[in-house]
Amino acid sequence: MNETKRVSRGKDWWRGAAIYQVYPRSFQDTTADGIGDLQGVTLRLPYIASLGVDAIWLSPFFTSPQADMGYDVSDYCDVDPMFGTLSDFDEMLAEAHRLGLKIIIDQVISHTSDQHPWFKESRSSRTNPKADWYVWADPKPDGNPPNNWLSIFGGPAWEWDGVRRQFYMHNFLTSQPDLNFHNPDVQDAVLKVLKFWLDRGVDGFRLDTVNYYFHSRGLENNPPADPDAEMGNDAPDTNPYGMQQHLYDKSQPENVDFMKRIRALLDLYPDRATVGEVGDGTRSLQTLAAYTSGGDKLHMCYTFDLLGPEFSAAHFRKCINAFETKVRDGWVCWAFSNHDVQRHVSRFIAHPDERDHMAKLCLTLIATLRGSICLYQGEELGLPEAELAFEDLRDPYGIRFWPAFKGRDGCRTPMVWDSTARHAGFTAADKPWLPVSRAHTGLAVDKQDRDPASVLNHYRRMLAFRDEHAVLREGRFRFIDTNQDLLVFEREREGERFRFYFNLTRSPATIEADRVLSEAVPVALPGFPPQEAGESVLILPLSVVCFRLPVAE
């Protein structure tokens, strides 16, 4: 493939950016140990640039015991040997910048590994200098944990420590103790970590579980969830975590001031950006609004609203309209897939024959919304969720809740590069860390690269189309009312006005042409033929039509 170099967009490059998530463990192995590494990322940077994205979100590569695949950090300022060295990182960063790609790195700062020196010191006594760096609490008189808070990964959010004779809080694994952000020294230490990477030249941070930093000092019990209320997507319904309203263990008001401290640090460096992960059930969009408004906190956030199984015009309209209504001056980053959820073509299709078409339709939809977009490695190939045997699982979340919930390994299997090579070109090792799915091999990059009609080439064409029309990156957004099961909206900016009709059903739809459509010009979207606006317009199942309209006066 030809080398592609992106053009810089200045300090607001993140606004409307297309961000490609790389999960380093599964991207490219260059050392034949079965695990992807930073040199592998560097090797594949030209491929990423060829997609037409603006930036890379690099999942954790820091020193870690790997109990949660790197989301349990024991040294924030070094590279885990399985991924390489700091020199490998610097080389990767320099090559990305040469190609015009920004690098956003994951920062997992709500908690550390229990092997982090900070925690080892904190748990050693109740009087050491870091005694209050984590969330410690005395047991109830009967020896039970201090309250009813739950871990997302199962069981109580409290673990007993025999040395301190206290419980410590953990929102995830017992080996992932939560930092105490009420302590200013903890905030300062975390900001020092961010400064280390900013000084090294990274372009920004993806902030893992950004609304989990603070807990309520009062340690009040969470109330039960309203059984009649709409559930969020924070946890599968097989997990009792969803049975509580998480009023006190996350999303505390003190977090807003810390977001301001993060922004103040980034503002000292030109052209840097933050994207926060917000998991807050039905309150996610309110939290997103609070964290991105005013221009003095995070640049953008994403939620789990589009990461669930719902695929309908009504659902998308509800989510998008809620964002447009509640997030007045903030910014959202939309995504259909990432390393934590089942791949979206598997969530949305009704039959395997729909896979490629669904992949193309979903990109076309997300690329025409207002906001930035995040694409997860392999979705540009239309990869379905991989089916794994229990003995192949590595994800502690899946192992804990199997078989009702199969975990996250199915979306984390290795990238498929070469359909003729062993392990699809991912590794020369005898065995990769997760098996390469047989269902993926025939969808490898080498096959799709030379097929003009492939999902891969659709991604390239659609992202190029988005780049060519600034209205899709920066334009205003408004829904158009319809009495049919369609998602209809307009994008408008400085003399350019598009209207999109998305039919997300399995039946054709016909719309009667109104006065505006009678003056419209059909637009040929990549992969979807244009439709003339006569007395009516036919929209095929799982399809979209687009018109260029006269600019509203």
- Give tens-digit pLDDT for 38-85: 999 999 999 999 999 999 999 999 999 999 999 999 999 999 999 999
Inter-residue contact 300 to 293 (CB < 8 Å): no
Q: Where are the alpha helices (DSSP H) in 302-354?
A: 313-326, 344-348
Q: Which helix (H) or strand (E) segment is 501 a member of?
A: strand 496-503
pLDDT given at position 230: 64
Q: Name residues whose C-beta falls within 8 Å of residue 310's C-beta, 6 or more positions apart in sequence.
A: none
In this prediction, residue 325 carries a pLDDT of 86
pLDDT at residue 381 tops 90: yes
Whole-number percent of the chain with pLDDT over 90: 87
Instruction: pLDDT band for 324, please (50, 70, 90 cuts).
Output: confident
Angle between helices 254-266 and 184-200 (to 10 degrees): 30
Q: Residues 490-495: what's their mean pLDDT? A: 94
Please say if the pLDDT value at position 544 is more than 70. Answer: yes
Using the Cα atoms of residue 308, residue 314, residue 316 and residue 321 in order, give the sign of their dihedral. negative
SS3 call for 308: coil
Q: Give the three-class secondary structure for 150.
A: strand
pLDDT for residue 177: 98
Q: 10-110+184-468 architecture in CATH?
A: Alpha-Beta Barrel (3.20)
pLDDT exceeds 80 at position 9: no
pLDDT of 8 > 70? The answer is no
Contact 59/21 with Cβ under 8 angstroms? Answer: yes
Q: What is the pLDDT of residue 337?
A: 98
Residue 287 has pLDDT above 60, yes or no: yes
Tell the CATH topology of 475-548: Immunoglobulin-like (2.60.40)
Q: Other CB atoms closer than 10 Å to residue 189's CB: what's the count?
A: 16
Q: Find where tokens 């003009």 sit.
A: 452
- pLDDT of 462: 98
* Residue ranges of domains in the chain: 10-110+184-468, 475-548
Q: Which pLDDT does position 328 carry in this prediction?
A: 80
Q: Given this model, what pLDDT does residue 11 score?
A: 86
Question: Catalytic residues, which ones?
Answer: 208, 277
Specify the pairing of strand 204-207 against strand 158-161.
unpaired
- Over range 423-432, report the average pLDDT: 98
Higher pLDDT, 14 or 7: 14
Asked whether 204 and 104 are in contact (CB, 8 A), the reply is: yes
Instruction: Specify the pLDDT at position 536.
Output: 85
| Spatial distance between the Cα atoms of 428 and 417, rounded to a whole number of angstroms | 13
Band of pLDDT at residue 6, cut at 50, 70 and 90:
low
Q: What's the pLDDT tens digit per position in 229-247?
A: 665 567 777 899 999 999 9
Q: What is the distance between the alpha carbons of residues 154 and 156, in angstroms, rounded to a whole number?
A: 7
Phi-psi region of 422 (alpha: psi -120 to 50; beta: other; left: phi over 0): beta
The whole-angstrom separation of Cα 385 and Cα 412 is 9
202-206, 390-394, 493-497: the lowest-pLDDT one: 493-497
CA–CA dist 359, 343 (Å, integer): 10
